[in-house]
Amino acid sequence: MALAASLLPPAASAAEADIGASGDALLPAPTPLTATQTLYLDVTLNRSPRGLLPFSLDAGRLMAPASTLRQLGFSVRGEAPLPLDALGGVVVRYDAALQTLALDAPLSQLTLPTTLLERAAAPTPVASASPGALLNYDVYASHNQDAGNLALTTQWRVFGLGRGVLESTQLLRTYQEGRSGHWRGESVRLDSHWELDFPDSATTLTVGDFFSGFVDWSRPVRMGGVQIGRNYGLQPYRVLTPTPTFLGEAVVPSSVELYVDGLRQYNGEVPVGPFQLAAQPGISGAGNAQVVITDAYGRMQTVDFAFYGAQQLLAKGLTDWSLGVGRMRREYGIHSFAYDTPVLVSGTWRHGVSNRFTAEAHAEGGGGVANAGAGGWWLLGPGGVFNAAYAGSRVNGREGGQWALGYSWNNRRVNVNAATRRTHGDYRDLGALQEALPPDVTDQLTLGLTLGRAGAISASYLRLSYPDGDDNRYASLFWNKTFSARWSAYLSFNQDLSDRDDRSVYLSVSASLGRNRQSSVSAQRNGDRRLYAVDVSQPVPGDGSQGGFGWRLQARDGDGGAGGLAELGWLNRVGRYALGASRQGDA
């Protein structure tokens, strides 16, 4: 997008000497000279200071060396000095008494570097660590008329020993089988790993349990082994997605303002020449921007642009990747050290080829499975984002493939998301080694619309079809509306398209009671069962607060009988606590 700021300067005063585009010299009558006179003049180009530069006065004509003209931005050939009155379209103001030279030139005559306008980058923090350890814990106890349960989830971490972090999570549980049954205990290790971070290269090495790398058209698996890959979480200051940019040019020094959807995002100065201005990171979907240029003479020019921000793409030049080797985890959450025998390999790669295209590839293999594929994301200008991919597999001589297509577009009022994945042949991936076969068909469609005073509505469709013949299709409809600062309503409808009797409807009306207290009245139907509830609550203050109490009261009635619940929460510097009792019918 080009933005023109070709604003002509005011006419020169009578006290200045001009050389017009016609080349006619309007210099004061010079004193006859018998030799060329060298001058060092204080030069401004289109009102922008360029410092002290050499010129010469030869028989009343002001001459400029080729090197001086190139330094000013003019495109000239050869090394012979050129008279300034021979530069087409250039207005020259030479003041012999003050030894100054003012040039006004059209940008078509100049070759100037593009000025990048951006916010001042915050200084990159330097990470440091000292030896230490922490323990997170979550204790949950419950009891009803039939049985009791006590569970402890823990996470411990040791850090600062070298540059790595050692971490592990566990679950310990004791429970009663029946009112008169014996109490039984069990414990299971969940995840354990050692991580070594390299912030300068945004890379992390993991030894232990990890998820394999994946893209939208592949499935991750739990593995135990070694993984290395990009971790941009180590560089939170880096902008990962393309940001809309606006190109323009200023004939004279000017101030530039950028407005996106009516909100000012940038205000700064720009010198003479072309400039590039980037919008704030995080903008998603179609929008409108305005660039306002105010030149040195106070004149304003406004140019409107349409743009599209895509969060699914990587910015040009950025690469995200991972490579893992190990064995697949088995019966996670049930057994602590159960791993399959075959050694597996999984690698993922994504690269921002340009701000409009991101390429990606994924490959995995082991246990008789070989799977590889490639795809990409395309920004279609204001038309949204399109993605496509294809993967092929080979298992014990049987081959198969999977193709995927997707499209998304939104403009903050309307949003559209559509995606489909289809397999053919005997397509398999690493997940199939544990009998979790990939679906034959995966279809997703979501349409959303903001209705202004009528609220917002969205509809979705989902289909999952598996090789065993199980074909699931669901349709959903959602509506919400905020009536005022205190009142709001929410409605949802879900229908299993394969079973007309399997549907659910939920309606809720909420009101703010002030002092952070909330209330709601809701009605719900799941199949043939109905449930009605009245709820009043005051949430526990957030973790960033000084702490305090919260509570909740609910009364219920429906096909399961009358009942209700009462809960009390408390937050202090040591932890968060909750206590509650619930009753529904005879339970």
pLDDT of residue 307: 78
Task: Identify the band that residue 148 occupies on the pLDDT scale cut at 50, 70 and 90.
Answer: confident
- pLDDT tens sequence across 409-464: 988 789 999 999 999 999 999 999 988 899 999 999 999 999 988 899 999 999 99
Which residue's entry shows tokens 């393309």? 242
- pLDDT tens sequence across 529-583: 899 999 999 999 876 677 899 999 999 998 878 899 999 999 988 889 999 999 8
Can you give the three-state secondary structure of 533-546, one letter per residue? EEEEEECCCCCCCC
Dihedral over Cα of 80, 85, 89, 91: its sign: positive
Give the pair of three-digit tokens for residue 2: 């080009």
The yes/no answer on whether domain 17-111 falls in CATH 3.10.20.410 is yes
- More confident site: 117 or 41: 41
pLDDT of residue 28: 44
- pLDDT tens sequence across 186-242: 899 999 999 999 988 999 999 999 999 999 999 999 999 999 999 998 888 888 888
Helix and strand counts by DSSP (H, E) for the chain = 1, 37
Q: Which amino acid is at 448?
A: G
Hey, what's the torsion of the CAs at 49, 50, 51, 53, to 10 degrees? -140
pLDDT of residue 422: 96
How far apart (Å, rounded) are the C-alpha atoms in residues 326 and 407? 35
Share of the chain above pLDDT 90, in %: 48
- Short-list 110, 101, 23, 113, CA closest to 70: 110
Give the pair of three-digit tokens for residue 389: 């991919």
Averaged confidence pLDDT in the chain: 86
pLDDT of residue 5: 35
Asked if the model's pLDDT at residue 2 lies above 50, the reply is: no
Tally Cβ neighbours within 10 Å of residue 180: 6
Read off the pLDDT of each residue in 298-306 and give the average, rounded to a whole number. 80
pLDDT of residue 121: 60
CATH, range 245-309:
2.60.40.3110
Asked if the model's pLDDT at residue 366 lies above 80, the reply is: yes
Asked if the model's pLDDT at residue 35 lies above 70, the reply is: no
Give the pair of three-digit tokens for residue 516: 């952070």
- More confident site: 430 or 381: 430
pLDDT of residue 179: 67
pLDDT of residue 9: 38
- More confident site: 572 or 17: 572
Rg (alpha carbons) of the chain, rounded to whole number: 35
How far apart (Å, rounded) are the C-alpha atoms in residues 407 and 131? 48
pLDDT of residue 550: 93
Ordered by start, the domain boundaries in the chain are: 17-111, 245-309
- Short-list 269, 271, 265, CA closest to 245: 265
Q: Using an 8 Å Cβ cutoff, are 221 and 212 in contact?
A: yes
Task: Identify the band that residue 284 occupies on the pLDDT scale cut at 50, 70 and 90.
Answer: confident
pLDDT of residue 13: 36
Strand segments, DSSP code E, in 80-163 are 82-83, 91-95, 100-104, 115-117, 132-143, 148-161
Read off the pLDDT of each residue in 44-56 and give the average, rounded to a whole number. 88
Is the overall model pTM greater than 0.95, yes or no? no
Asked if the model's pLDDT at residue 166 lies above 90, the reply is: yes
How far apart (Å, rounded) are the C-alpha atoms in residues 313 and 381? 13
